A and B are shown apart, each in its own frame.
Chain A
Amino acid sequence: MKTDIVVRVCMGTGGIAAGGAEVMEAFKKLLKSKGLKAKIEKNCTMHKVGCRGLCARDVLVDIVVNDSKTTYQFIKPAMVERIIDEHVINGKPVEEWTVPEDYYLFHSKQVKVVLSDCGSVDPEDIGSYLNVKGYDALKKVVTTMSPAETIGVIRQSGLRGRGGAGFPTGTKWEICSKETSEHKYIICNADEGDPGAFMDRSVIEGNPHAVIEGMIIGAYSIGADAGYVYIRAEYPLAVERLKNALKEARQHNFLGKGILGTKFNFDIKIKLGAGAFVCGEETALIASIEGQRGMPRAKPPFPVYKGLWGKPTVINNVETLANVPYIIRKGAGWYSSFGTEKSKGTKVFALTGKIRNSGLIEVPMGIPLREIIYDIGGGIENDKAFKAVQTGGPSGGCIPSHLLDIKVDFESLASVGSIVGSGGMVVLDEGDCMVNIAKFFLQFTQSESCGKCVPCRIGTKRLLEILERITSGKGREGDIELLEDLARDIKATSLCGLGQTAPNPILSTIRYFRDEYDAHITKKKCPAGVCRDLLSYVILAEICKGCGACKRVCPAGAISGEKKQPHTIDADICVRCGACFEACKFKAIGKG
């Protein structure tokens, strides 16, 4: 019987960081040295794959023998030999290294559209994408459909922008298609900047051709002759794979002049972002491509009327575009069968924070938040209590535990003061201080404000200062009301989305965790024990064994005591670093 063997090594950014390149090298070397090359040469393929979601278990390796797939987790180069000996040669998988059942639970509640080929196709080989019907949608569109028909399908699918605002993609394309202009542009916004978000990066790293195919279909629909992918320079692997994919697409005449024998001409350039978060805002992004300082301008006019170089321009997010080929191939009805009435399809989330299975997930819109946290995410790390989920990054808000059964879609999240956003989902547990979380996001938005408009430039600074004084024990009576008042004014008057949403983390944490703010201000205590200035450490004399472990680690020399006698901490010298708390084996140190 012919043996068909495929080895897949996860080589997204997470995979590479965990040692994916070394694992792959070990496979190559050992397969060769064991003479397997000669034996199975024609039938053995081995390639890189992009992110398949569960980054926490990297390096993940698939061994596919005659279409029967076995997945291994936490693979190190030293483990490769045994896998080859026992599994590849003798056909017995190394059971103790294969993924346990929860790996499949992680995947079973997910619905993969955008990510359907991520983790199985080789992102650096167009042939691999073509094998899974890649570019079939493009062929169908340019040879059998009119631009209006194509837009019609996208409209019917109910696809809405995945960058955060949720504007209907078909409507955007339709408006732009009706503009008459010598040139039109389509831009793929890959300037993903929310802290804790890595959806777009993973999609480009895992399946760049889907994004390119979506862009070409978009260009065909609106009549664009040039496109840009605006991507952060901090994503070198994604940039490299995108460049390679563009080259391959040109070789296959999916890009360039007379695409697939038609009269349609279109090509894509890559523009690297220089690290400004605000350049994800579409007008700032356009300014940046034009070579100006990345600062937003007032809308109207909207980019669909006057965008890049003053010409009609459609700007779509990576995930939005990556949905397009699948919608065209499988039909609008298929896509809209997922999701809720107003939020169709699926959404990719980057699930991070205090969650057991952190990673990349794709779920149907409308899935209960509880299922994401407990079924897909596997619950909270170290069995701590769930406190809240922060969605939408610095523009979003948090959802507390009593709202865990809320459905995750545009409307439901907005109704509780948060947003779907671009897909960041940071899970917080009882050990997180909500005032501190708000401060973290404000530090981010303040340092990323472009400085153009007053409310964002100075307003977010003042919000941050108030939060800083609250978390350092200098909060004043009335600070909560001042925060709320200033936050509302900043939201109402800021120029762009950054300033208009920057106060959201504050408003939403005050809304659900006002008592924590109160405790900081009036009792000068941080209930979660996070804010260092509000903490004090004491040694509980009745438990202390006098081992001296705390004394040895204290960097300030604040702990004194004789051997085998209870020790004490001098609060005046203590810098509240927590080293003693971590070092004590007897839980003799109290924090509060």
Chain B
Amino acid sequence: MIDLSINGLPVSVPEGTTILDAARFADIPIPTLCHHPKLTPYGGCRLCIVDVKGINRPVTSCTTPVTAGMEVTTTSPTIEKLRKTILELILSDHPNDCMVCEKAGDCTLQELAYFYGIRENRLDGERRVYAKKDDNPFIERNMEKCILCGKCVRICDEVQGVGAIDIAYRGFNAKVCPPFEKNLDCEFCGQCVSVCPTGALTGKAWGQRGRQKDIKEIETICPYCGCGCSITLHVRRNEVIRVSSREDTLNEGWLCPKGRFGYSFINNAARLKTPFIREEGKLKEATWDEALDFIADRLGKVKAKYGADSIAGLSSARCTNEENYLFQKFMRAAVGTNNVDHCARL
């Protein structure tokens, strides 16, 4: 363990801990925009600067490991002035349209602008302009809101292992984009959307469907596959308007495109809600009892006429292990065949 002091408070943390993590451990807030606990420290936004005794310039707490006896000061008039300048710079190249922004109320940049009371900006100047791109149904990119924190680039590379985007160009023209600035054409997992601190990346599915007001958040499990990721449904007026996942879950907040964006079936008019039985070529609505009785009856007849091995069962990866176990048990013990398989085996 390394002993240090932060704002005069003694703190003890394991070796290799950064100043930022040590401060968070001690419940001392430090603002950041580019830091994510699961991604490689970046040091790009410069907001997390702190003073360390003996070092003559501020250091970024997200990239600096603690050392024994270190004396850290996280706030001072000088540090706060520097942070304010950085925020003014970011906001000088950011659309002032929080009133229509999808991210309002849940935006780290907006929150920081609020805390630092930035309204007028002495550093106003040219702003980047981007042509709208992408016809994919999942991810909305508003690149003029991008603050180049690089979280999307890092999550795509480090967590998803895809590397669909990176930073191109230099200076003020630097931008995050797919190769050759083409349309975004990736697996659309939306991990980038989940870490974007501003409204630069949002989901098309939840555009203008409601922000924070009147939203209920309901914790549940994703129904798509046996992984069983924890998801949070954002529900407004009995309608799921968005899916997210919290960082403190087994899936660590990561989701795939189906889990994150594939919820439009819930309120879809064409969604099947009851079983159907085909009678004389036409599907007729039935109850579960009727349907199961029908299946049992037909399976019995087929088995009697052609033998048990004329029947095969295919199970689904959407089922849990327990359900799959029961299914093979049913096929072997009740039906009497080893013809049982599972789509996830392929």
Contacts and interface: CB of A to CB of B under 8 A. Distances in A.
Contact of A465 (B49, B59, B126): B126
Contact of B64 (A278, A297, A300): A300
A486 B84 CA distance: 11
Interface residues of A, number: 31
B148 A489 contact: no
A179 to B, nearest CB: 17
A461 B122 contact: no
A298 B174 CA distance: 19
B170 A454 contact: no
B148 A298 contact: no
B81 interface: yes
A449 B57 CA distance: 21
A388 B174 CA distance: 34
B155 interface: no
A451 B148 CA distance: 8
B85 A489 contact: yes
A458 B44 contact: no
Contacts of B167: 293, 295, 451-452
A447 interface: yes
A483 to B, nearest CB: 11
A494 interface: yes
Contacts of A489: 81-82, 85-86
A486 B123 CA distance: 9
B41 to A, nearest CB: 7
A459 B85 CA distance: 9
Contacts of A459: 85, 89
Given A457-B172, A462-B89, A452 B123 contact: no
B43 A454 contact: no
Nearest to A500: B57
Interface residues of B, number: 37
B44 A454 contact: yes
A450 interface: yes
Contacts of A300: 64-65
A448 interface: yes
A482 interface: yes
Given A298-B60, A298-B63, A454-B44, A448 B82 contact: no
Nearest to B42: A452
Interface in A452-487: 452-455, 457-462, 465, 482, 486
A458 B93 contact: yes
A458 B172 CA distance: 6
B44 A452 contact: yes
B125 interface: yes
A455 B41 contact: no
A492 interface: yes
Contacts of A495: 43-44, 46, 60
A493 interface: yes
Contacts of A446: 171-172
A276 interface: yes
Contacts of B90: 454, 458
From B43, B46, B123, residue with most partner A Cβ within 10 Å: B46
A451 B82 contact: no
Contact of A298 (B41, B85, B173): B41
A462 B44 contact: no
A75 B205 CA distance: 74
Given A293-B167, A451-B170, A492-B58, A462 B92 contact: yes
Given A453-B44, A461-B172, A482 B122 contact: yes
B166 interface: yes
A111 B264 CA distance: 78
From B58, B65, B123, B150, residue with most partner A Cβ within 10 Å: B123
Given A298-B60, A458-B93, A493-B46, A451 B171 contact: yes
A488 to B, nearest CB: 9
A458 to B, nearest CB: 4
A278 B85 CA distance: 24
A492 B42 CA distance: 18
Contact of A457 (B123, B126, B171): B171
A458 B89 contact: yes
B46 A450 contact: no
Nearest to B148: A451
A273 to B, nearest CB: 14
B125 A461 contact: yes
B82 to A, nearest CB: 5
A482 B171 CA distance: 21
Contacts of B170: 276, 278, 447-451
A455 B82 CA distance: 10
Nearest to A482: B122
A505 to B, nearest CB: 16
B265 interface: no
Nearest to B47: A454
Contact of A486 (B41, B43, B85, B147): B85
B89 A453 contact: no
Interface in B82-133: 82, 85-86, 89-90, 92-93, 122-123, 125-126
B123 A460 contact: no
From B43, B89, B174, residue with most partner A Cβ within 10 Å: B89
Given A457-B148, A457-B172, A462 B123 contact: yes
B202 to A, nearest CB: 22
Closest 7 CB pairs of A and B: A451-B174, A298-B63, A298-B43, A489-B85, A458-B89, A461-B172, A449-B171
Given A455-B46, A465-B125, 13 more contacts: A297-B63, A451-B171, A451-B172, A452-B148, A453-B45, A461-B93, A486-B85, A489-B86, A492-B57, A492-B82, A493-B86, A494-B46, A495-B43
9 contacts: A278-B170, A293-B167, A298-B60, A451-B173, A452-B174, A454-B89, A455-B86, A457-B174, A495-B43
Interface of A: 276, 278, 293, 295, 297-298, 300, 446-455, 457-462, 465, 482, 486, 489, 492-495
